[in-house]
């Protein structure tokens, strides 16, 4: 699951990034609303966390404007404003949750995970390639009806490959999807995950290396 954190306080922004990464999330950060705009233009996220009051504006108005254009992403607002009216305003504009500062980091992580799962449950689809099925709602992968035990990173790599079944997906795209934009495309983390997935999927092979392009999920012809 990939999360965008927009927070102008550098210390808190770094702490949020560290905590979410430590719990298995891929995390991108922005210090202001223009930075959030840029990230949202180039990346897909499962959830966005916004500090409400930013130097570049009120994130509440920002989310309201995006919602009016049909933006569906779950949002968690962070704020020092703790009145009932403030919380209602946050929920009214389409915020999925509202957490008052100071907060416990485990609570924030639990709330972010809940928002991500709530969104996925509403958009659950089954991806298929040959006899492999990937359930995006349950985060499960099976082959020939047998459920596979996979890690979070293995699931994300498979999800991206199966969403593009038959077409090559670049190393950079897979790494950005399963890790984040800070990950080094030249590292071997993806190769390790691909090797593990091939072992778990067994024969006949479905994940193929495309020289100079990346990997492709497809049945043998």
- DSSP bridge pairs for 27: 3
Determine which helix (DSSP H) or strand (DSSP E) holds 132, and give its type and residue range.
Answer: strand 132-135
pLDDT digit string, tens, across residues 139-153: 789 999 999 999 888
Domain 126-217 belongs to what architecture?
Orthogonal Bundle (1.10)
Q: How confident is the model over 106-112, as a mean pLDDT?
A: 90
Residues in the chain, overall count: 221
| CA angle, residues 183, 23, 154, in degrees to nearest 5 | 60
Percent of the chain with pLDDT over 90: 33
CATH tag, 2-122: 3.40.50.2300
Q: Where are the domains of the chain?
A: 2-122, 126-217
CA angle 84, 70, 178 (to 5 degrees): 90
Q: Return the HEC string of 10-38.
A: HHHHHHHHHHHHHCCCEEEEECCHHHHHH
| Phi, psi (rounded to 5 degrees) for 151 | -80, 170
Of 122 and 134, the one with more pLDDT: 134
Given pLDDT bands bounded at 50, 70 and 90, which one contains residue 94?
Answer: low
């Amino acid at each position: 699951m990939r999360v965008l954190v927009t927070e102008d306080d550098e210390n808190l922004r770094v702490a949020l990034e560290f905590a979410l990464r430590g719990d298995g999330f891929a995390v991108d950060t922005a210090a202001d609303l223009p930075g959030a705009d840029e990230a949202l233009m180039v990346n897909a996220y499962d959830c966005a966390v916004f500090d409400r009051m930013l130097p570049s504006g009120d994130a509440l108005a920002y989310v309201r404007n995006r919602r009016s254009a049909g933006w569906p992403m779950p949002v968690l607002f962070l704020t020092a404003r703790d009145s009932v009216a403030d919380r209602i305003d946050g929920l009214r504009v389409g915020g999925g949750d509202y957490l008052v500062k100071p907060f416990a980091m485990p609570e924030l992580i639990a709330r972010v995970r809940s928002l991500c799962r709530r969104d996925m449950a509403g958009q659950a689809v089954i991806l298929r390639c040959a006899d492999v099925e990937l359930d995006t709602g349950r985060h499960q992968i099976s082959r020939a009806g047998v459920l596979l035990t996979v890690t979070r990173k293995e699931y994300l790599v498979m999800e991206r490959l199966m969403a593009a079944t038959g077409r090559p997906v670049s190393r950079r795209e897979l790494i950005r999807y399963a890790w984040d934009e800070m990950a080094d495309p030249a590292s071997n983390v993806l190769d390790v995950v691909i090797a593990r997935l091939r072992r778990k999927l067994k024969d006949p092979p479905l994940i193929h290396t495309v020289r100079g392009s990346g990997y492709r999920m497809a049945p043998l012809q």
